[in-house]
Structure 1
Amino acid sequence: MSLTLADARIVTPEGVHEGWLTIEDGRITHVGRGSAPGSGLSLGGRHVVPGFVDIHNHGGAGGSFPTGEQDKARDAVELHRRHGTTTTMASLVTDSLDGLTRAASALAELCYEGLLAGIHFEGPYISRSRCGAHDPALLREPSPQEFAGLVKAGRGHVRMLTIATELPGALDTIRMAVAEGVIAALGHSDADYDQTLEGIEAGASVATHLYNAMPPLGHRAPGPVAALLDDERVTVELINDGVHVHPAMLRLAYEVAGPGRTTLVTDAISATGLGDGDYVLGPMRVRVEDGVARLVDGSTIAGSTLTMDVAFRRSVQEVGMSLPDAVQVASLTPARVLGLAGRIGSIAVGKAADLVVLSDSLEVAGVMKDGGWITEPR
C-alpha cells in the first residue's frame, strides 16, 4: 500500500522545503519538492518532522518502567507516541539487584516486540551526594561482574548505564559496559574535571541530563560540565522543561556542543500526561504540584512530566534553535546515540516512516509510526 503526503513543509537536516513524500510498506520511498505527482493526502502546508527519539524516559500515563509492569509500560509508550516520540528507551532507577533484574527481564520482552528501543540503568552505581531522587540506601559500588548479571537479565537489550566515574570500580565497569555494547553515560556524579576526563577515556560517551545531579560549572573548578561539553566524543542530554535547566544554560550547551552532540530527553515519570498528585519513581514517593515532580519529603526534583513535543517547541521558541537543528537534537542525534540513525531520526528515502505533523505553532497535529497513523492529521 502506498501513501503520499502532499502540500507539506518537510524538515530535513539540509533545511525546510515545500514538498511531498511517499510511503510504502512502512518506509519512505520518495521525497520530493514542489507539488506531488498525482493525488495524495494534503497536509495544508503543515510541517513534517521525523519522529522524536527519547533515550531517557521513566514512564507516563500512570505507567512506570522501573516496576517492569508490561501493561503499564505499554500505556506509557502509547502516551509518548501521541506526543510524537516514536522511539523510546526505558530508563530504570536505583533499586535492589533483584528489583532491577526483574524489571530488566520484563522490559526485555517489550524490546523483542519492538515497543521499546532498549533498557537504561540509571543507577545503582551513582554518587550518594548527587543521587537526586534515587534511594541512597540502595546505592552500590560499581562492579563489572555484578553489572554483567544485569546485562544478562536484559537479554541483549541493555543499551545504557549511568555511572559516577569517581566511584571505586567505575572505570573498569565503564570499560566492561562498552565492551558489551552498552553506552556508558556519566551522571549523578560528584566527579571533578580530571575524574570526568578519566571516565571519557575509559569509554563513556553520554552525559546524563547535563547540569543536573553534578557539580556546577565553575571558573576555577570547571567540574564535569566543562569536560563533558568540551569533548567531541560526548553527547549531552538536556531536559528542556523550564524547570531543570535555565534557557540560557541550555543555549550555552547547544552552542558549545552543537546539534550533533546535543540530545533532548524528557526524564518523564509515571505522572506524565496525568494531573498533580502522588506517584512513585521506583521505590521513591513523588509528589507533583503545578506539573513539577519532587520527592514528597523534600525539594529534590524527581524526573519530569515533560513530553518531547513540548521540549522540541521550547527549543525553537525559547532557546532559539532553527527547525532543522531542533529536529536533529530531538531525533537524529539520539538515534545516532542508539546506533539507529540508518533507520530512523531523519526524513530520507529508505528510512522508517516515523513522522510527526506539526502546526504552524509546532503543536502535534498527527503522528505516524512505521507507516501507520498513531493519530491521524487533524
Structure 2
Amino acid sequence: MRSEGSRPARGAPSMMARTSLAVARQARRFPAVDRSANVSGPGAVAGNPSVAGDSRSTMPNAKNNAGRVLVVDDQPSNLRIISALLSRQGFSVYTAESGEDALQRLQQQLPDLMLLDMMMPGMDGFDLLEELRQNPAWSGVPVVFLTAAHDRDLLLRAFDSGAVDYVTKPFMPEELLARVQAHIGLKLTRDRLERVARERQELVNLVAHDLKNPLTSIFFASDMLITGQTREDRVPRYLQMVRDSAEDALGYIRRYLETQASARSRDALAPSRACLGEMVRWVDQRYALQLEDRGARLRIGSVQEVDVAVDPLVLRQVCENLISNAIKYAPGSDIELSVQPGAPGFRQLRVEDRGPGIPPAQQSSLFTPFFRIGSGDTATDADSTGLGLSLARQIIGASGGDLRYEDREGGGARFILELPEAPA
C-alpha cells in the first residue's frame, strides 16, 4: 500500500480529479453508444465482456491523427475489440499479447500511449511498467492500466508504479475513447513543448557561439587602440575592423530573426550566392592583423572568382569558425587559404595549418556537438564551447555542401569546404 507521505496534500486536486476533468471534457466529443445490442456476440469476452455495450456501434469516423496506441492484453478478443474501437476514431493501433511481446514492439516503434492489462501470465502489467520506467527511451510513454480489479490498494499501487490512469472492465466505449484522447493530447502537447524548448536552446547556442567571433575581433582591435601598441598607419585598419565586426554581429542576429520568421510562415529564404574570391579577401582583411600579432601570417593560395550557392553571411560564419580554430589550436603557425576544384558541380575552399593536427582517436568525434579538441592547454580548452565545427558542418550541409577533415602531409590540419556552384 502507498505510504501516508506519498498521498496528495489536503486541498490539492488529486490525480484522479485532474484525470476525471480531462476525461469529462473529452467524453463530450463522443455520442452515446446504443447499448441495446446483445453483448454476448462475437465482440464480447465470454463470461466477462470487456465492453459494456456493442463494440460495433456507430461511432463518428473522425480522423484524429492523434497518435499511436499500443494495446497489451493476453486475451485476443480484448485486443480485437479495443483495436476496432480506436481504429474507427483514427488512431494508429498495434497490439501485443504478452509483456515480452510488448518489449519487442517497443523496440520497433514507440507509441504515444500504452493500454496495458494489469494481470497477465508471465510478465504482468506491473513488471512491464517497471521495464519501461528503467529505460530512458521508453520512460516517457504514458501507461493506462486495463483491469477488472476494484481493489483500492491495487489501484494505488498502479499510480505509484507510474501509470497515469486506469480503466476498469467492463468499460464503456465513450469512457475509454475519452481517456485515450485526453492522455494522448497531454503527451503530444508535452512533446511539442519539449521540442520548442530544445529548438530555442539550440538557437541560443548558435547565436552565442557565432557572436563570439566578431566580438573577439572587436576586443582585439579595441585593445590595440586603447593600449597604443600599434603603429599610427594601422589605426584606420583597426577602426575598420571594429566597425565591420559590429556589422557582422548585427547581420547574424538579423539573419537568425529572418530564419525564425520564415520557419513560422513556412516561407523559404530567397536563394543566395557568394563569391569565393571575395570571401578569401574578406578573411584576409579580417584576420591578417590578428595573425601578425601572434607572429603568423595568412597565406593566400590559388583563388578563383567563382560563385557558390551559399549565403555570404553563412559562409563568413563557417570561415570564421575554421580560422579562429586554427589560431587557437595551431598558435604561431601560418594559415593557408585556397580555392580548388571539387567534385563535378562543386568548388573547395581549403583552410590549412602546420599545427599538431587532430589526434586520430578524436577525429571520429570531431563534428559531434560539444566535443572539444584536447589541446593540452587548460585555458584554451575552457574557452571552447565544442560547437564550432558541429555548427559549421550543419550550416554547410543545409546549403547542400559538406565539411570534412584531413591530416595534412608533413603534419598539420586541413579542413575542406565542399560547396555547390551557383547556377549561371
- Shorter-normalised TM range: under 0.3
Computing the radius of gyration from Cα coordinates, the structure with the larger value is: 2
Higher relative contact order (CA 8 A, sep 6+): 1
* TM-score normalised over the length of structure 1: 0.27
Which structure is higher in helix share?
Answer: 2
Which structure is higher in strand share?
Answer: 1
